[in-house]
Structure 1
């Protein structure tokens, strides 16, 4: 990845209701493979409101002069970091659709707890 700024990249974001706590972002760079990060859906939602996360994934909102949410900043990486700015309206709309699929607080409703207990025995 280049250190030239700013640079426009395509970003894909995905959600699977079978793994309802996680979201995956894939940033297409000039490299052979996209840069892929998986983190909690809650972290993404929190990052739209205030600085959230620590370690390899940190998110925070950017507001215009009137206080309106305009962008979401995503910093990823360990020894080598990258900073991405994503249109917040697109993220909010996408995130709302994930909550239609699996509402907040319902992530564990379909877990077969008896089967998990049997696996642990």
Structure 2
């Protein structure tokens, strides 16, 4: 199984990961990019997605656990690759600057009755 992350500046709060196996798209998970940013150094997330680092043993890794209630999956990536990805995410949209790229208030006003 392979996984590929997607991040878009116009949706700065979210990060997506697509899983493929045997030439088939298996699943897509969309979650807060903060889970990955914070999960490099401590356990984070609850419910459907959890992220945590592991330094014991050989090469340091970051683990991601996904569940939908019926099925679950745990994957890991080399910590240095996750750090590189996180550096790129923050270079595109610095932490606490997300609102410059996405107007949450305007988006909410389209959903709420006037």
Same fold by TM (over 0.5)?
Answer: yes
Q: Which residue of 2 aligns with 1:33?
A: 25
- Looking at CA atoms only, which structure, 1 or 2, has the larger radius of gyration? 1
Instruction: Name the structure, 1 or 2, with higher relative contact order (CA <8 Å, separation 6+).
Output: 2
The runs of at least 4 aligned residues of structure 1 exceeding 6 Å deviation read: none
Please give the alpha-carbon distance, in whole angstroms, between the structure 2 residues aligned to 1:85 and 1:111: 30
Structure 1 or 2: larger helix share?
2
TM-score, normalisation: structure 2:
0.82
Aligned CA-pair RMSD: 2.4
Q: Which residue of 2 aligns with 1:82?
A: 73
Q: Which residue of 1 aligns with 2:84?
A: 93
Q: Secondary structure at the match of 1:34?
A: strand
Runs of at least 5 residues in structure 2 that lack an aligned partner in the other structure: none
TM-score, normalisation: structure 1:
0.78
Runs of at least 5 residues in structure 1 that lack an aligned partner in the other structure: 1-8
